[in-house]
Copies of this chain bind each other. A is one copy, B any other.
């Protein structure tokens, strides 16, 4: 659990190259439009030969997705507000805002555009984990908290769907979504009252 991924050793050449390439991608992405970023450019910025990148990542999209997934990994747990509802609301609002930004949107698209389904799954897993943390805290306090799937489908899904297909949701609507999943607590899988 302490290691991140890939490289045989943190300080090895392989790891150094990967770090250098990732750094180069982030730098170029910050400096110019994504459409202008090419593998030879990244290679030059990173101080490696293009063929190294081609052999390791195959194509530009894979590399961009790799970098994006890493950037999308949350660097801290969800903030605590005192209640599960407050935690979820605060987290969802921040999540929506981060993902709605230009860079956030691009990262999501990069992740989705990559070949396998591993990238998207990992991103989904990040959100899942954050919500699970909130749910556990709520459970520890003896509160009712909606199912993980209910939150994924009722809050995360609309946020990402609108970003990708329509227009990003505002904070107000996100709040309504959170209210919605709490309104439905216990309605599913609990054969009571319906």
Which A residues lie at the B interface, using CB under 8 A?
Answer: 35, 109, 112-113, 115, 120-121, 123-124, 152-154, 156-158, 160-162, 164-166, 176-177, 180, 183-184, 187-188
Q: How far is the CA of A188 from the CA of B162 in the complex (A)?
A: 19
Q: Give the number of times this chain occurs in the complex, counting copies.
A: 2
Contacts of A165 in B (CB 8 A): 120-121, 123-124, 160
Q: When the two chains form their complex, are residues B112 and A166 in contact, meaning their CB atoms are under 8 A apart?
A: no
Q: When the two chains form their complex, are residues A121 and B166 in contact, meaning their CB atoms are under 8 A apart?
A: yes
Contacts of A152 in B (CB 8 A): 158, 161, 166
Q: When the two chains form their complex, are residues B164 and A177 in contact, meaning their CB atoms are under 8 A apart?
A: no
Q: List 22 A-B contacts (CB under 8 A).
A: A112-B113, A112-B164, A113-B113, A120-B164, A120-B165, A121-B165, A124-B166, A152-B158, A152-B166, A153-B157, A153-B158, A153-B161, A153-B177, A157-B158, A157-B160, A157-B161, A157-B162, A160-B164, A160-B165, A161-B161, A164-B164, A176-B188
